[in-house]
Structure 1
Amino acid sequence: MTQSTEQPEVRAEPRRRPGGRTERTRAQVLDAVGAELAERGYDALTLDAVAARAGVHRATVYRRWRDVGGLLADLFAATADDDWQPEDTGSLEGDLAALNRENLVALTVQPSIAAALLAASFRSEEAARGLRRLWADRYARCEVIVARAIRRGELPPATDARRLLVTATAPLYHEVMLLGTPPDPDLPGQAAKATALAAKAGAFTCPTPANDPS
């Protein structure tokens, strides 16, 4: 019998693409959200418009993100810097002012994903959940500001970091988001100074339990 010299056909395996189809679809949709937000604004943002712009079936968008709030929460999470840490200026007031300046930029840059997500959180449980996760992460990262101040001797050791940080940052959200006040470049520093003075006076010190012998 004559042995065949024909080599068996070797089929090339399909090339694997990083992230796969699901991640590519997510990237297309989130790009479309950003573009729609920039061109049309939050009030005109709809899932149908995003799906059309992304070239994705509307059912896919509805199934994965549910509503505009879910889209914004995912977009904000996707653009967040996982390595972000608050600036170390060498003082509590300086650290809080630097943090507030970053927050003011995030709330007033156009388009502001942060401002849109805040607005959506009042109408969307998806956005509200995403916002709570983002705030919890950001405040946890910022607790190092208070820890540094305690080590420098600026603050009492029992200072409540979360209460201090909320007090320092709240004026920006109140003025920009609730009152619609034009951005004031002096506000970040003013809020930081007032909070730092109150903190040094012990305004955010945790009370000592009654049965604590110390």
Structure 2
Amino acid sequence: MAAVHAPTESAAGSPTESPTVRRPRMTAGREAEVLATVVELLREHGYEALTMDAVAARARCGKATLYRQWRSKHALVAAALRAHRPRPADDIDTGSLRGDLHSLFARVSDQAERDTALIAGLARATLDDHELARALRQKLVDPEIDEFTTFIERAIARGELDRRPAAMAFLPQMVFATVVTRPLFEDEYADADYLLRFLDSTLLPALLHS
């Protein structure tokens, strides 16, 4: 049987050739291990220093295997962050917009505190790496916007809101900025108490009155 040859990695982390033999995709458990490895390496070294070679070595798998599962470094990083994010908010339905948002913010606060530096580093990288920005929007930002939209639609159905708030257009940016910039202004991470105060004093009024 012909051997599988790993593609040469370009500076952007994309393969320059396809594997010569198709093999089965990795199991869900193995995929989770690889994605956890990616997050570890991102925390240790940052996005720019991350390579497919480093992931393959730490995860003890072939680079060709990585490229079969994820076509590029951008796709791999986006998938890792998607798997690493708190569980989806499908089970949150408290009966009020405030309750839904409180539950969501409490859920993400632990990760926000732990991964602020990682998130900030990726944000900087997206300024020069449009493929990374696109991958992160598809895997992270768009699903979170969908969750917020579900909360808003339920609030409209309950009569809490009479229309989609204009502030919805800025909601992801407000949350992101609040999480990432608190260490800069106050030398502390955005913990649960801080995020809930932000929700009640700023975000919720903006949604209810715009």
Taking structure 1 as the reference length, the TM-score comes to 0.62
Question: Are the structure 2 counterparts of residues 111 and 75 from structure 1 closer, same or farther at C-alpha, using a change threshold of 3 Å?
Answer: farther
The answer to whether structure 1 residue 131 and structure 2 residue 136 are counterparts is: yes
Q: Name the amino acid aligned to 2:113.
A: T
Q: Quote how far apart the aligned CAs of 1:196 are.
A: 2.1
Q: Which residue of 1 aligns with 2:203?
A: 195
Q: Quote how far apart the aligned CAs of 1:139 are.
A: 0.9
Q: Which residue of 2 aligns with 1:106?
A: 111
SS at match of 1:48: helix
Question: Are the structure 2 counterparts of residues 175 and 79 from structure 1 closer, same or farther at C-alpha, using a change threshold of 3 Å?
Answer: closer
Q: Which residue of 1 aligns with 2:102?
A: 97
The sequence identity of aligned pairs, in percent, is 29
Question: Are the structure 2 counterparts of residues 180 and 139 from structure 1 closer, same or farther at C-alpha, using a change threshold of 3 Å?
Answer: farther
SS at match of 2:161: coil
Taking structure 2 as the reference length, the TM-score comes to 0.63
Listed one character per residue, the Cα deviations across residues 111-156 of structure 1 (whole Å, up to 9, x for unaligned) are 9875665454344334212211121122112212112222333222
Counterparts of 2:129 and 2:183 in 1: how far apart (Å)? Answer: 17
1:21-60 aligned within 5 A:
21-24=24-27, 29-37=34-42, 40-42=44-46, 44-58=49-63
Instruction: Judge conservation of contact 2:37–2:59 (CA < 8 Å) in 1.
Output: yes
Counterparts of 2:93 and 2:54 in 1: how far apart (Å)? Answer: 42
Q: Which residue of 2 aligns with 1:10?
A: none
Q: Name the amino acid aligned to 1:190.
A: R
Counterparts of 1:65 and 1:181 in 2: how far apart (Å)? Answer: 38
SS at match of 1:101: helix
Counterparts of 1:105 and 1:111 in 2: how far apart (Å)? Answer: 10
Q: Which residue of 2 aligns with 1:6?
A: none
Q: How many residues align?
A: 181
Listed one character per residue, the Cα deviations across residues 43-80 of structure 1 (whole Å, up to 9, x for unaligned) are 6533221122233344654684433x332112123456
Question: Are the structure 2 counterparts of residues 87 and 148 from structure 1 closer, same or farther at C-alpha, using a change threshold of 3 Å?
Answer: same
Structure of greater Rg:
1
Q: Name the amino acid aligned to 1:47.
A: M
SS at match of 2:92: coil
Q: Which residue of 1 aligns with 2:150?
A: 144
Give the unaligned 5+ runs of structure 1. Answer: 1-19, 204-214
Give the unaligned 5+ runs of structure 2. Answer: 1-22
Instruction: Judge conservation of contact 1:32–1:50 (CA < 8 Å) in 2.
Output: yes
Question: Are the structure 2 counterparts of residues 159 and 34 from structure 1 closer, same or farther at C-alpha, using a change threshold of 3 Å?
Answer: closer
